[in-house]
Amino acid sequence: MRTSRTAWWRRAAVALLCSAGLVLPIPSAAADTASTGHPSGSTLTPRALAFPVTETFDGTTTLGTTIGSAASTGDGWMRLTSATAGQAGTWKMNDSFSSGLGIVAEFTYATYGGTAFEGRRGDGMSFYLADGSAANGVGGTGGALGYACSMIAGTLCTAKSGVPGAYLGIGLDEFGNFSSSGVGNGGPGAAPNKIVLRGGGNGSTGYRYATAADGPGSTVETGTRATFRTVRIALLPGGTKMLLSVWSDSGPGTTLTKLISDYDVTTITDQPKLPGTLKVGFAAGTGSATNIHEIGDLKITVPVDLTVGKAVNTATVPAGGGPVTYTVTVSNGSANDVTGAVVRDPVPGLTGVTWKCAAGTGGTCGQASGSGNSLHTTADLKRGGSVTYTLTGTAPAQPTTLRNTATVTAPADRTDTNPADNTATSSPTTVTARADVVAAKEALGTGPVFAGREFSYQITATNRGPSDTTAVDAVDVLPEALRFVSSPADCTATGRTVTCPARAALAAGADTAWAIRVRLDPAYQGDGSDLLNKATVRHAVSDPQPANNTSAGVGPPDGLAPPQADLVTVKTPSTTKPVAPGETYGYTVTVTNRGPSVAREVRVTDPLIPALAFVTSADGCTVTGTGTDRTVGCGPVAELAPGEIRTWHFTVRLDPAHTGDGGTVRNTATAGAVTYDPDSRNNSSTAGAPGGTVRPAQADVELAKRATAG
């Protein structure tokens, strides 16, 4: 078992092997000439970057300078080292940017194809920021990752100088020595597969260890180019602080995970003062452990923190009602100004949408107002600036739940460092169904109507919306004088209350109807004012106008006519046995009311022929007149209902002196009433003698003889 001293020397030997190629001085200017033709130590004033910056490394752009082992592969990758021991290479941008802006850099990288030493490949690669006015240069091989200076056997960092004018470096450290004490004037100890932050430095000073985080899945090595990873680095000015955050995914199609969050770079020991301008660079190193280290698809933007908030004015709204008002507030943090932030809000569900924009302090509306269901506009926002949009519309016709999401998107030259607050969804608004269902009632057929007659009503329910409704039925309480007869729509009656079956659904704008048949009371004598009849429709949805759920009062079609009663009279002899002159016999008179109305004051008159004389009547018939002008009268009966029959009997005597055969013994009974009779042809009935003939006269002569004295 190794002693701790033996282990220390082994670590020192590894550091020495991983940085052996750095004992030599910095390569000459001629060797460091970039693809631009400028030597690494050139003092040409750099241009200011125009954001966004995109470098595809496919040969179409030449935004940077390479030093050491770095070279383009020509197919979209910048190879910083090959799988050869003892290399260090860097690519550094030619143009600088103001350090007060901060930066968001996103790039892909791949590490693969190397040879392991002590079971690990390496060493790793780094992203760095350097003073925009500093000369180009590359740091140490091996564990220095081409960024930091490196030590020999724990002495001062003199083995190889670091990147000139460095401000910070972030290592993707495979082998683990970027955290060791042999790199950048110390560290906590070797730790493989870490993302490591070191501070700035120059030459042999600085490059202090700051913090580290595990790579996603506890590795930073991709294994192949096809399984490249994406890294995002954000440096935000924040007052006196410079806040660093680092994200990485674990391969194509995976999400970025924040690994270092808001680390204040200014707290690193011996951290240099923030220069006025900065440049972006990448470096990598190999030692005894090797790997191919490549970067690709670099995009650099300015960091911002845009936020959007959204509120709604109501939690519930009736269908077709409102207004529903959304308030969308877009604001910018303190990092940088934004020109052309894109604001979107689809405003689903509402109709008649209009919107207006109000600029707050530091905000400018791209458009002052507009209409339609898609807010899509821009805003310019200074640091701390804001704009507020007010969107107003009418709720939809059908019940639903409105959920509305607004978004703000940074323009192409800016990257939002906190996209989680770039969307805001309002609290839900429940749209409750509302249907204005109107009841109408009409009398069908032709009139006028008289007592006892049947006629029909139609009840109609019309949905004026805005929503569809369900369970629509109708109720009709009939007046006393009307009686329910039938319904083709399956309406039924309980007492005078008629209920019509429910329709399952009634769409807005649609109607449905029921028909019922009724009869006016045959005894009705009113003027029709008490026949005005209302129907009520009911349904399952809230109704904004419940008053029109009941129809206006409706009477019979074309009003009322006087009652009508068709009286039918039948007169017959009470016997079929012929009678002889001087004998008596009876007549039966039957009156039937065929309706439809009640017949009132019903009476029968029967003028007698001279051969007949009234004898008697058990039913109250009497005779009036004298001589040959005699009439039998029966009644009156106060009321004779439709279908009702009234019968009278009376007895007569055939004149003893009658000499005929009975053919002339005929008389006619006629029924009448104060109620109008629509068919008088059947009001009279004629009858003759019983059997239709008269027997010969008979006389019972009694002879009496009396003697007188004389």
Cβ–Cβ contacts within 10 Å for residue 468, how many? 19
* Domains of the chain, each with CATH number or no CATH: 75-303 (2.60.120.200), 306-432 (2.60.40.740), 435-549 (2.60.40.1510), 565-692 (2.60.40.290)
Burial of 398 (0-12, 13-18, 19+ CB in 10 A): middle
H helices then E strands: how many in the chain? 1, 48
Report which residue type is found at 405: T
Predicted model pTM: 0.70
Nearest to 230 by CA among 105, 102, 83: 105
Residue 20 has pLDDT above 60, yes or no: no
What is the per-residue pLDDT for 41? Answer: 40
Residue type, 19: S
In the chain, the amino acid numbered 214 is D
d(CA 458, CA 442) in angstroms, rounded, equals 5
CB 565 within 8 Å of CB 598: yes
Query: Residue 81's pLDDT is what?
Result: 98
Cis ω for the linkage preceding 323 (within 30 of 0): yes
pLDDT of residue 38: 36
Segment (H or E) for 14: helix 4-18
Q: Is residue 491 over pLDDT 70?
A: yes
Identify which of 616, 580, 620 has the alpha carbon closest to the alpha carbon of residue 604: 620
Q: What are the tens digits of pLDDT across the range 356-412?
A: 999 999 999 999 999 999 999 999 999 999 999 999 999 999 999 999 899 999 999
Tell me the helix, strand and coil percentages in the chain, rounded to 5.
5, 50, 45
pLDDT per position as a tens digit, 63-76? 999 999 999 998 99
Q: What is the mean pLDDT of residues 334-362?
A: 95
pLDDT given at position 697 = 75
pLDDT value at position 5?
30
- pLDDT tens, 261-290? 999 999 999 999 999 999 999 999 999 999
Q: What token pair was written down for 644?
A: 């009702």
pLDDT in tens, 99-112: 988 999 999 999 99
Nearest to 35 by CA among 1, 89, 71: 71
In this predicted model, what pLDDT tens digit does every residue of 555-601 receive, in sequence order?
A: 999 999 999 999 999 999 999 999 999 999 999 999 999 999 999 99
Whether residue 418 is predicted with pLDDT greater than 70 in this model: the reply is: yes
Which pLDDT score is estimated for 700?
Answer: 64
Q: What is the pLDDT of residues 518-563, one digit of tens each?
A: 999 999 999 999 999 999 999 999 999 999 999 999 999 999 999 9
Q: How far apart are CA 364 and CA 339, in angstroms?
A: 9
State the average pLDDT over residues 22-37. 33
Largest CA distance in the chain: 211
Alpha-carbon separation of residue 517 from 455, 477, 492, 494 (angstroms): 6, 13, 11, 15
